[in-house]
Structure 1
Amino acid sequence: MILISKYLFPKRYVGLTLWPVIFLKTPELKNDPVLLNHERIHLRQQLELLIFPFYLVYGIEWLIGLIKYRSAYIAYKNISFEREAYANETNDDYLKTRIPWQFIRYIF
């Protein structure tokens, strides 16, 4: 399910996935296949980790990155879930061929 809400997002962000919903900043983003693929990768990650642990690990990785990089944005870009999603967002077939728990490859 995709919902639109311009009020959920800081300036740099246009999409957010909170299982089972993908939130987008504007209606036009529904036509962005790369963004939608990125967010669908997050849906798969969340399901694999039974949802709550995904958010826990995501937050821990972000906090570690914040200490390490001293930048919220760089910390975000280095979260394993984001690294997997960004690396594969242009591959339309990625979710068809993706091996479960693939995000682990992006931790190190």
Structure 2
Amino acid sequence: MILVFRHIFYKNYVGLSFWPFILVKHPKLRQDTTLINHEKIHLRQQLELLVVPFYIWYLTEWALRTLWYLDAYRAYRNICFEREAYANEGREDYLRHRRPFGFLRYVVLVNAHP
């Protein structure tokens, strides 16, 4: 289910997955297939980790990477969950062919986002 919440997003962030919902900043974003696919990838990740552990891992990895990079946005872009979602958001068939726990391929920073 896709819900619109205009006032919860920070700066340029426009979408968020919060099991079992996808939250977007503007109604027109419901039609953005790339954004919706990105958020669906996160929903799958959340389901695989039984939701709460996903959020714990996500926040822990973000905090550690923020300390490592000294840059919160760079840390965000290099979280394994985000790396998987960004790398595959344009592939509408990705979730049909994705292996379980596909985000694990993105834990090690081989080609980290700058």
Specify the TM-score bucket, using the shorter chain as the normaliser: over 0.9
Within a 5 Å distance, the mapping from 1:53-72 to structure 2 comes to 53-72=53-72
**Aligned pairs, how many?**
108
* Unaligned stretches of 5+ residues in structure 2: 109-114
Distance 2:16 2:31 in 1: 16
Partner of 1:48: 48
Q: Percent identity?
A: 56
Partner of 2:16: 16
Deviations 1:53-100 (A, max 9, x none): 000000010001110111111110000000000000000100000000
Distance 2:72 2:2 in 1: 26
Distance 1:69 1:8 in 2: 26
Distance 1:93 1:102 in 2: 14
Q: Alignment RMSD, CA only?
A: 0.4
Task: Give every structure 1 segment of 4 or more consecutive aligned residues whose post-TM-superposition deviation is greater than 6 Å.
Answer: none
TM norm structure 1 = 0.99
TM norm structure 2 = 0.94
Partner of 1:27: 27
Residue 38 of structure 1 and its aligned partner are, at CA, apart by 0.1
